[in-house]
Amino acid sequence: MAKKYPGQEIQREPPEEGWGQIIFIDSLKAQVAGAKEFKKDGVELIEFYLMPFDSTAKRFGIDLKKDLDNRGYCYKVYPKEVIINLNEYDPGRRFYLSFLNWAGKKSGASDKILGLAQAEDIIRLKRKIRELMAHNEELKNENFIIKHNEKKHIKDTMDGVINPLMPFIKGLLESEAKKEES
């Protein structure tokens, strides 16, 4: 909460239960004066009433005199899935960890923590598994044919080997026959 005194800047006062904090993925922080959860279009969101620390304000270009409302807060909304309440059993002093930065953007660390980097590996590995399973099925079918119909397999294999060689073999036989005639 904030009080405005004549001739002075806004003076920030903590809420009755005390300040909480939110630590962002880039290690910057803000004081949490309050938060409320709600759903919009089926997505769970959290709206925070925040007072950024000077380092956060400096990094994101927040003017602490102009960009705050008349009570001294910035209102920021983040998806609930990227926020962890670190001490949920103490409702008076909430400490949150955000996997996004102040601006709601992801970082390389966000991808690792949220599993997005691993998700790409999982998708790639699942594709490889499907390819290997299909190849394995082909090998099983071939093995079944070999075990249960050896003559057909030998014929198919020999046809595949001998047929391409037949013109060459005929040529050799003809040249040998011509040599014997002469």
Q: What is residue 107's three-state secondary structure?
A: coil
E strand residue ranges, 54-127: 74-79, 83-85, 95-98
pLDDT of residue 2: 45
Contact 76, 96 (CB under 8 A): no
Q: Are strands 95-98 and 20-23 parallel, antiparallel or unpaired?
A: parallel
pLDDT means per 10 residues, the chain with 182 residues, are 45 61 85 85 88 82 75 84 82 80 78 71 88 93 81 74 80 82 73
pLDDT of residue 141: 87
Domain residue spans of the chain: 2-114, 115-146, 149-182
pLDDT of residue 89: 75
pLDDT of residue 174: 85
pLDDT of residue 132: 94
Measured CA distances, 118 to 106, 110, 121, 125, 130 (Å): 15, 12, 5, 10, 18
- At 87, the amino acid letter reads N
pLDDT of residue 95: 85
pLDDT of residue 85: 86
